Amino acid sequence: TPAAAPTVVAAAAPAQAGAVPALYTQLCQTCHAAGVAGAPKVGDKAAWAARLAEAKGLDGVVAIATKGKGAMPAKGGSNASDAEFRAVVTYMVNASK
């Protein structure tokens, strides 16, 4: 959502900030737009709130997603840097508040 963009920009390095929506499209959208294999859908406030509570916050969600969970491989099967991956997870969380 447009309201999420300023938060993501602040969370990502300036050179990476503009690439975050493209990273989401490339790495995450296939599963997180449709809820494939239990992936929380972007925009589903309740699903993301539950993930955040279970993981004890954003750092926990990032750590779990970095290692992989269920059908999702580590970093979604990508070769994104840790900073890029954190930025795209933050983008999804912010779009779901």
Domains, the chain, with CATH or none: 17-94 (1.10.760.10)
Q: Please say whether the dihedral angle defined by the alpha carbons of residues 45, 63, 57 and 81, taken in this order, is positive or negative.
A: negative
pTM equals 0.80
Average pLDDT, the chain: 86
18 pLDDT band, cuts 50/70/90, is confident
Which tops the pLDDT comparison, 13 or 56? 56
Q: Say yes or no to pLDDT of 6 above 70.
A: no
pLDDT at position 52, please? 97
3 state DSSP class of 72? strand
Phi/psi for 69 (5° steps) reads -150, 130
pLDDT at position 17, please? 58
